[in-house]
C-alpha cells in the first residue's frame, strides 16, 4: 500500500505542464461528478486532456470529462480538474491524489474541492450545497490511506494534523457569499464521509453512517484533502447533495448515477457563481494575510 509515484514523477509532470503553459495557478479546483462546468467561467483557457499529460491517470467515469483547464477568474490564475479519480476505478490512492502534489509544486496555495454526495442528515434536501466542515475517512480506518508508506518530507511531515483540514476562514467566506447570493436556504455545513463505492449504500450502512455523525456520504475527496493538508495547501470543500440516502426500508426511491449528474446540471449556475466569487475572495484573503 505504499506510494507508487516517486518525487521525480511529480517533478517531471510539473515541469512538463510549466513548459506547456504560461499560466501559474494560485487556486486549484477539483470538479466532482457532473460539475465540470465550473470551469466554464474562466477566461484565457488552456486545456489539456489527461491522457496527454505524462503520468496523469485518466477519467473512466461518466460525468468526468478528463481535462485539466488553466484559466483566470477575475485576475486570479486557476487550474480546474474536470473530473477526478476514485478508488473504485481501480486507482491506488497515490494515483488518485497525484494531481494535488502537482498543484503544490506548481505554486498553488488553495484547493477548492467539489463533489456530489448523498444526504444522510434527515434535514438535508436534494440540491442543498454542503460546505464541508470535516470528514470521516472510512477507507483510511481500514488502511486505504494516501499517506501510508514512506513519508516524503519534501511534501510534509509524517504525522499531519487533520483537525483543521477545512479552512475555517474560507468556510466563513463561503457562508457569507451564500447569503449575499440569496442562497442561505440551501447552503449547509456538515461532515462528509468517504466510502470506497462503487455501490451506493445499503440501508443498514446508511443508518450506521448517521449514528457515526455523517451528514453526507460520497466516494471521493477525502484522499485529495488529506494530501493537500499534508503539503500545506488551504482547503475549502463544497458537496452538492444529489440524492437523499435511504434510511428506511419502506422507501421506494432508488438512487442512480444519472440522477446524480442531473442535479449537478440543475444547480450549475448557482454553484458556478459561488465558486467564482469564492476564488476571487480567496485570493484577496491570501493577499491580505501575506
Ligand X SMILES: O=P(O)(O)O[C@@H]1C[C@H](O)[C@@H](CO)O1
- Which of the residues 167, 219, 228, 239 is marked catalytic? 219
* Residue 67 in contact with ligand X, rule: CB under 6 A: no
CB 187 within 8 A of CB 175: yes
86 is annotated as an active-site residue: yes
Q: Are strands 76-82 and 67-73 parallel, antiparallel or unpaired?
A: antiparallel
What number of chain residues touch ligand HPA (CB under 6 A)?
A: 13
230 is annotated as an active-site residue: no
**Stretch binding ligand HPA (CB under 6 A), from 13-21, 36-44, 88-96, 241-249:** 241-249
Q: How far is the CB of 41 from ligand X (least distance, A)?
A: 19
Out of 100, 108, 233, 245, the only residue in the binding site for ligand HPA (CB under 6 A) is 245
Out of 106, 132, 219, 231, the only residue in the binding site for ligand HPA (CB under 6 A) is 219
CB 276 within 8 A of CB 78: no
* Residue 115 in contact with ligand X, rule: CB under 6 A: yes
- Our CB check for ligand X shows the closer of 17 and 132 to be 132
* Residue 214 in contact with ligand HPA, rule: CB under 6 A: no
- Our CB check for ligand HPA shows the closer of 92 and 243 to be 243
88 is annotated as an active-site residue: yes
* Residue 49 in contact with ligand X, rule: CB under 6 A: no
* Residue 260 in contact with ligand X, rule: CB under 6 A: yes
- Which of the residues 42, 65, 84, 89 is marked catalytic? 89
219 is annotated as an active-site residue: yes
* Residue 116 in contact with ligand X, rule: CB under 6 A: yes
- Our CB check for ligand X shows the closer of 220 and 276 to be 220
Among positions 73-112, residues that touch ligand X (CB under 6 A) are 86
CA atoms within 13 A on the CB side of 239: 31
- Our CB check for ligand X shows the closer of 61 and 270 to be 61
Site residues (vs ligand X, CB under 6 A):
32-33, 61, 86, 115-116, 197, 218-220, 257, 260
Known catalytic residues? Answer: 33, 64, 86, 88-89, 116, 219-220, 243, 257
Amino acid at each position: 500500500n505504499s506510494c507508487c509515484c516517486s518525487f521525480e514523477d511529480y517533478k517531471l509532470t510539473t515541469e512538463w505542464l510549466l513548459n506547456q503553459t504560461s499560466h501559474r495557478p494560485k487556486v486549484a479546483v477539483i470538479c466532482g461528478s457532473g460539475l465540470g462546468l465550473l470551469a466554464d467561467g474562466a477566461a484565457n483557457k488552456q486545456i489539456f486532456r489527461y491522457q496527454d499529460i505524462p503520468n496523469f491517470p485518466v477519467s473512466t467515469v461518466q460525468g468526468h470529462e478528463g481535462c485539466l483547464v488553466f484559466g483566470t477568474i477575475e485576475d486570479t490564475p486557476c487550474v480546474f480538474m474536470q473530473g477526478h479519480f476514485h478508488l473504485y476505478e481501480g486507482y491506488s490512492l497515490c494515483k488518485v491524489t497525484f494531481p494535488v502534489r502537482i498543484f503544490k509544486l506548481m505554486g498553488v496555495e488553495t484547493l477548492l474541492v467539489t463533489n456530489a454526495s448523498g444526504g444522510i442528515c434527515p434535514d438535508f434536501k436534494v440540491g442543498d450545497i454542503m460546505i464541508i466542515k470535516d470528514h470521516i475517512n472510512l477507507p483510511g480506518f481500514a488502511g486505504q490511506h494516501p499517506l501510508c508508506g514512506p513519508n516524503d518530507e519534501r511534501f510534509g511531515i509524517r504525522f499531519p494534523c487533520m483537525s483543521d483540514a477545512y479552512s475555517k476562514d474560507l468556510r466563513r467566506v463561503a457562508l457569507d457569499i451564500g447569503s449575499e447570493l440569496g442562497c442561505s436556504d440551501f447552503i449547509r455545513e456538515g461532515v462528509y464521509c468517504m466510502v470506497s463505492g462503487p455501490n451506493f449504500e445499503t440501508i443498514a450502512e446508511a443508518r450506521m453512517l448517521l449514528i457515526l455523525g455523517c451528514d453526507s456520504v460520497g466516494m471521493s475527496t477525502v484522499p485529495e484533502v488529506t494530501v493537500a493538508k499534508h503539503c500545506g495547501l488551504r482547503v475549502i470543500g463544497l458537496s452538492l447533495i444529489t440524492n437523499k440516502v435511504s434510511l428506511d426500508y419502506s422507501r421506494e426511491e432508488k438512487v442512480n448515477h444519472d440522477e446524480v449528474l442531473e442535479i449537478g446540471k440543475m444547480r450549475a449556475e448557482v454553484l458556478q457563481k459561488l465558486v467564482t466569487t469564492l476564488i476571487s475572495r480567496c485570493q484577496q484573503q491570501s493577499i491580505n494575510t501575506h
